[in-house]
A = this chain, B = another copy of it.
Amino acid sequence: MGMAIEDMKDSLRRRGIRLTRQRQILLDLIDKSGQHLDAESLYQMAKERDPKLNRVTVYRTLKMLKEGGLVDELDLMHYGGDQHYYETRLKQEHAHIICLRCGKVEEFFGEPLQKLRRQVEAHFGFQILLARTEIGGYCSHCQVLRAKEVKDLTAVSAGARRG
């Protein structure tokens, strides 16, 4: 972070893409926010810096960054709807672990991911451009709470059955 934004700007300049005021704002927000922004949140944040900035510009910018390989697009198992989430491509490849109860997202780096990548390349002669691993379930905290919820639900429906 911090450095990343300059790398992104360079990459855009090299490709002759104009660094408009709007794009500077959006790049800056993506860079320092750190993680997992969706278009709408990014738009809300951007509007505070420039109230005239349009939602459409956010979509167009994200699309451009994605196509330029500067950000990765995630779904996070569609927790919270069908929108997409974005993160800069600074880090090493990682999996996203999302709790389907509280929504917390963890990142997992580790050799199985690299090994998978190498095996796929070797096995299929495939040229990998994008890779995404998303894992959904319950985090250690929510497993307990979830068990309790299920118990309560059972009690309620048993009650209903009794009349």
Which A residues are within 8 Å of any B CB, using their own CB? Answer: 73, 75, 77-78, 82, 95, 97, 99-100, 106, 108, 110, 112-113, 115-117, 119-120, 123-140, 143
Contact = CB atoms under 8 A, between A and B. Distances in A.
Contacts of A126: 97, 99, 106, 135, 137-140
A53 B133 CA distance: 35
Contacts of A140: 124-126
B120 A116 contact: no
A120 B135 contact: yes
Most chain B CB atoms below 10 A, which of A82, A120, A143: A120
A97 B73 CA distance: 16
A82 B39 CA distance: 15
Nearest to A134: B132
